[in-house]
Amino acid sequence: MVNVKTVENVAMRDVFGEVLLKLSESDPKVYALDGDLANSTKVNVVAEKNPEKFLQMGIAEQNMMSVAGGLASTGLQPWATTFAAFLSKRSIDQIQVQIAQPNLDVKMIGAYSGLLTGLTGKTHQALEDIAIFRTLSNMVVLAPADGVETKKMMEFAHNHYGPVYIRLARDPLPTVFSEDYNFELGKAVKLKDGKDATIISTGTQTGRSLEAAEKLSKEGIQVAVVHMPSIKPIDEQAIITAAEETGAIVTSEEHSIYGGLGSAVAEILVEEKPVPMLRIGVKDRNSESGANEALLQKYEISSDHIAARVKEVLKKK
């Protein structure tokens, strides 16, 4: 089991900018591509400190992603960054035909993923990106829980030839991992033991799931927490083991309940080890602008909602 840290708050996007700057300085093949959101996504750090490695592509996501495929075909490693909403929906055909299918070495950073996107509302929230990206061949789909994991995933992606999608959050989050954490592709990370049920969570929702588990333990419910940073490929064995050991699963993601982590886990449980399972995610409805806490409450993905869902699943055991 990995040591849980939960100390100071760090924004993934700040880590992203600094790590990409270092990669662009140390590796001649690394370039940053921006869809004119550099000072939001924090890729502006590269623009300002290593301008030769920064390629402004303008407000034209389709072109940006096809250009990235072309650049990669000449031996470069483009890191294309824009809001996850645009990357996953405006340019998905380009990504499929000219990056994923030809297995080109393009890194895609979906900034401002999920629901908490800084009062921008539904056009700028990305609640479908996991669902969309996980259907593409050759695609690796990752969602870090904190700044430490963001850095480790980027270092992994840099050394992994092929398309990688990483969904990042906008706002600071509690740090879950200590610096010695080691990200492994396709491996789940158990963060808390528990015998009654398992929460399988990804990305930003992992911190909230740990909170929920703490609350439940005070009520005498021992729930395990398994963090799933790699949604594709996914750790099938960890899911089966969790089902075998605790007999009930709740999935937790800042994403639509359709097609994301919950669906991926359900696919495996149904085929390999059916046990009672419930999902936490944004239900089938339009979301809106609002403060973070208000959004978490209204769209039912807060730690309280997770805890309540665990109690519900226990009744199904």
The contact set with other proteins (CB under 8 A) reads 31, 55, 57-58, 60, 62-63, 65-76, 78, 93-94, 97-98, 101-103
> Considering Cα of 39, then 42, then 44, then 45, what sign does the dihedral take?
positive
Cα 292 from Cα 244, distance rounded (Å) = 35
Residue 248 structure tokens: 């009930």
Catalytic residue, candidates 18, 61, 236, 254: 61
Q: Which is nearer to other proteins, 3 or 73 (CB)?
A: 73
Q: Which is nearer to other proteins, 80 or 168 (CB)?
A: 80
Cα 310 from Cα 212, distance rounded (Å) = 9
- Closest CB 12 distance from other proteins, rounded Å: 27
Q: Is 61 a catalytic residue?
A: yes
What DSSP character marks residue 98?
I
| Among 306, 291, 112, CA closest to 221 | 306
Q: Which is nearer to other proteins, 101 or 292 (CB)?
A: 101
Amino acid at 57: M
Q: How deeply is 288 buried, as exposed, middle or buried, from its count of CB atoms within 10 A (0-12, 13-18, 19+)?
A: middle
Amino acid at 244: E
- Tally Cβ neighbours within 10 Å of residue 58: 10
Contact assessment for residue 114 and residue 299, using Cβ atoms and an 8 Å cutoff: no
Q: Which is nearer to other proteins, 102 or 172 (CB)?
A: 102
What is each CA distance from 17 to 36, 150, 193, 259, in whole angstroms? Answer: 15, 11, 34, 29
- Closest CB 56 distance from other proteins, rounded Å: 8
- Closest CB 112 distance from other proteins, rounded Å: 22
- Closest CB 82 distance from other proteins, rounded Å: 14
Cα 9 from Cα 152, distance rounded (Å) = 17
Q: Which is nearer to other proteins, 31 or 83 (CB)?
A: 31
Amino acid at 80: A
Q: Which residues are catalytic?
A: 61
